[in-house]
Amino acid sequence: MASMLLNSIRSGSVSPSWAVRFAFFKYFLSVQTKSKKTLARPGVKNVVLVDGVRTPFLMSGTTYADLMPHDLARAALQGLLKRTGIPKDAVDYIVYGTVIQEVKTSNVAREAALGAGFSDKIPAHTVTMACISSNQAMTSGVGLIAAGQCDAVVAGGVEFMSDVPIRHSRKMRKTMLSLNKAKTLGQRLSLIGSIRLAHLSPELPAVAEFSTAETMGHSADRLAAAFGVSRAEQDEFALRSHMLAKKAEDEGLLQDVVSFKVPGRDIVSKDNGIRPSSMAQMSKLKPAFIKPHGTVTAANSSFLTDGASAVLLMSEEKALAMGYKPKAYLRDFVYVSQDPKDQLLLGPTYATPKVLERAGLSMSDIDVFEFHEAFAGQILANLKAMDSDWFAQTYMGRKSKVGSPAMEKFNLWGGSLSLGHPFGATGCRLATTVAHRLQKEGGQYGLVAACAAGGQGHAMLIEAYPQ
């Protein structure tokens, strides 16, 4: 297990201040209380999240090991159908996000939809944007609805790390392709004869940033060091994530999880990466990326995960016309991007103030934060960055810091560190969790934020649907 965890990597999210919390009242001092305004805007269609589901997230190489990506995606789609009871032909469009593509099912959205029993008349496409792929799937859906092109869209994401495409070497591929074109036996034999031992070494998909050749864990470790995040702080945050996830699971709060009968195996109905440990145990681990003085370990990183998620999005009128009681409105969202080397995982820091500004909100207005936890060090670095006037002024061109979120509102049902992080599927989990938490906790505004490979980031505001 440990060796598998060592490989864990990727993704992004953000969050707030850890200990010190200076609320950032710039505007809307009056909006502090429960009398919050709605974020609806004249002339912009209200888009609602009717419901959202996910398969249990499993560590790669466990119960899902023999499946294919579209099997997982199909399970999420079927779960959504069952949960919402929507007629299979009432959906106008399907969008899925994924990161590492199985070459046989590169448009995994379509393959999964066909198998899930959706009408074959529903178009489907797949998007990819690293760890915010399913966020991108959702916002694509929001765009389609807002533009009046569709009334009901299913968005989702899937990642399957138990099997990734491992290729022959480029030399071997070249030889094999030439072999296809060889006309005579002599040509074929000479091509076969040209194969050397070196041709046989395979190419593994790299968990590294293509543009910089740096692995994400290495970058996270440097980021943590740059913001002075200690090993103990990271371990503590990871422990918090596991404990909160365990608590949420025990209390039955993770309602988005749908059971999945895996062919040839038992029914899976729980995530298997939630393992609250102890500080003593966690501190024993050696650094996974920067040796020997690094601070990022297998235990304070998210692990390689198999899983899929799906949400049903509709225009408000359509949802009401079909008799649904939506869970939340999807409101403003932004995408950001920055230097993929030194600021690879700072997406949330850049995205949060931008999306708040768009909606005219401040940090203290937000009731529920769901940030993607790629690495504990990355989350804590983002919290510190958001709480730094110097960083805001020097690197973001802003007048002052946005402030960091209150920890008592932050990732209260666990996060990617504990629940798992199927790259392409995490975004929908975050959005659904915000909707569920707003309902449960009685808040009005929720904020999703995430970082992603390529130095990109995303944030979205979600508003509770009036009860």
Partner 1 sequence: MLLSGKNITADKARKMGLVDQLVDPLGPGLKTPQEQTIEYLEEVAVGVAKDLANKKIPVIREKSFRLKQNDWVLMGLGPVRKMIYNTATKRVQKQSKNFYPAPFKIIECVKTGIEQGSDAGYQAEAQSFGKLVMTSESKALIGLYNGHLLCKKNQFGSPEKEVKKLAILGAGLMGPGIAQVSVDKGLTTILKDTTEDGISRGHENVYKSFNTKVKEKAMTSFERDAIMSNLSIQTDYSGFESADMVIEAVFEDLNIKRQVLKEVEAVIPPHCIFATNTSALSIRDIAAASKRPEKVIGMHYFSPVDKMQLLEIITTDKTSKDTLASAVNVALKQGKTVITVKDGPGFYTTRCMGCLFVESLRLLQEGVAVTKIDSLARSFGFHVGPFMLTDEVGIDIGLHISEMLCKVFGSRYEGGNLEIVKTMVEKGLKGRKSGKGFFVYGKMNVNPEVEEILKKYRVTAPSSVSSEYDMQYRLMSRCINESVMCLQEGIIATPLEGDIGAVFGYGFPPVHGGPFRFVDTFGAERLVSLMKRFEDVYGNQFTPCQLLLDHVKDHSKRFYQSSPSLHL
d(CA 311, CA 53): 6
The smaller minimum CB distance to partner 1, of residues 347 and 414, is found at 347
- Of the listed pieces 61-69, 111-119, 207-215, 369-377, which binds partner 1 according to CB under 8 A? 207-215
Q: Which of 179, 189, 192, 213 binds partner 1 (CB under 8 A)?
A: 213
Q: Which residues contact 454 (CB under 8 A, 6 or more apart)?
A: 129, 130, 209, 211, 337, 340, 344
The smaller minimum CB distance to partner 1, of residues 215 and 444, is found at 215
Burial of 213 per CB tally in 10 Å (0-12, 13-18, 19+): exposed
Question: Catalytic residue among 59, 67, 122, 131, which?
Answer: 131
**Sequential DSSP letters for 96-118:** EE-SS--GGGSSHHHHHHHHTT-
For the bound state, the minimum distance from the C-beta of residue 169 to partner 1, rounded and expressed in Å, comes to 17
Binding marks (x or -) toward partner 1, 388..427, rule CB under 8 A?
x-xx--xx--------------------------------
Could you tell me the two tokens for 355?
């999306």
**298 to 337, contacts with partner 1 by CB under 8 A?**
none
The smaller minimum CB distance to partner 1, of residues 226 and 243, is found at 226
Q: Which of 228, 251, 281, 400 binds partner 1 (CB under 8 A)?
A: 228
How many beta carbons lie within 10 A of that of residue 82, not counting itself? Answer: 11
Contact between 18 and partner 1 per CB under 8 A? no
Question: In terms of Cα–Cα distance, which of 256, 258, 323, 308 is closest to 90?
Answer: 323
Q: List 333's β-bridge partners, or say none.
A: 460
Q: List 368's β-bridge partners, or say none.
A: 446
Taking each helix axis as running N to C, give the angle between helix 376-386 and helix 216-226, from 0 to 180 degrees, rounded to the nearest 10.
40
Catalytic residue at 451? yes
Question: Catalytic residue among 450, 451, 459, 462, which?
Answer: 451
Contact between 287 and partner 1 per CB under 8 A? no
Question: In terms of Cα–Cα distance, which of 322, 303, 304, 302 is closest to 312?
Answer: 322
For the bound state, the minimum distance from the C-beta of residue 225 to partner 1, rounded and expressed in Å, comes to 5
What is the size of the binding site for partner 1 (CB under 8 A)?
A: 26
* Catalytic center residues: 131, 451
Residues in contact with partner 1 by the rule CB under 8 A: 210-213, 218, 222-223, 225-228, 290, 292-293, 339, 341-343, 381, 384-385, 388, 390-391, 394-395
